[in-house]
Amino acid sequence: MSQVTITIGPKPYTIVCGDGEEAKIAALGEVIDGYYAKLGSSRAVQETQNLVFAALFMADDLEEIRKSADAARRAVEHTEAKNGGRDSEMRTEIETLRKAEERAREDANALRAELAKMREAARHQHDLFGDEKQAEAIAAKLEALASRAEETASALEGAA
């Protein structure tokens, strides 16, 4: 156990406290002395009355602090209650967006796969005609065949 001497007003008080609590007790003594100083020149003759008045000042401040804390707590509770519905809505919206994103990724992957298949099919399409010179030769032969077909059709129409 330790001892700390605090001074409140004109009088020192020796306080017994646990080891390590000396600084806290000294700080609390300074707070009490501050309230005692509020009495100013209107101090009573009996020191006990002065301490009671200082304690009343402290109790008044403590009550105001409690009221403020209660008001703040009620405001927080009100805000939480008010936002509780919005939080739920936002969670639902976030989940909807996550699902939409997943579907979009799946669709994009499916489209990429389909595009790759189409490119592969298009890449092999020119193989039907060989290289470019062969394709031109085949095109010329097809043109000649088309001309002969038209001539034959014209001849058949004339004969009919």
Is residue 123 situated within a structural domain? yes
The pTM (predicted TM-score) of the whole model is: 0.46
Chain centre distance of CA 29: 45
Q: What confidence score (pLDDT) does residue 85 get?
A: 66
pLDDT in tens, the chain (160 residues): 999 999 998 899 999 999 999 999 999 999 999 999 988 888 877 888 888 989 998 999 999 999 999 999 999 888 888 776 677 788 888 999 989 899 988 988 888 888 888 877 776 665 565 667 777 888 888 888 888 888 888 877 776 6
Overall domain count for the chain: 1
Is residue 140 situated within a structural domain? no
SS3 letters across the chain: CEEEEEEECCEEEEEEECCCCHHHHHHHHHHHHHHHHCCCCCCCCCHHHHHHHHHHHHHHHHHHHHHHHHHHHHHHHHHHHHHHHHHHHHHHHHHHHHHHHHHHHHHHHHHHHHHHHHHHHHHHHHHHCCCHHHHHHHHHHHHHHHHHHHHHHHHHHHHC
List residues bridging with 13 in a β-sheet: 6
Q: What confidence score (pLDDT) does residue 33 get?
A: 92
Is residue 100 situated within a structural domain? yes
Is residue 141 situated within a structural domain? no
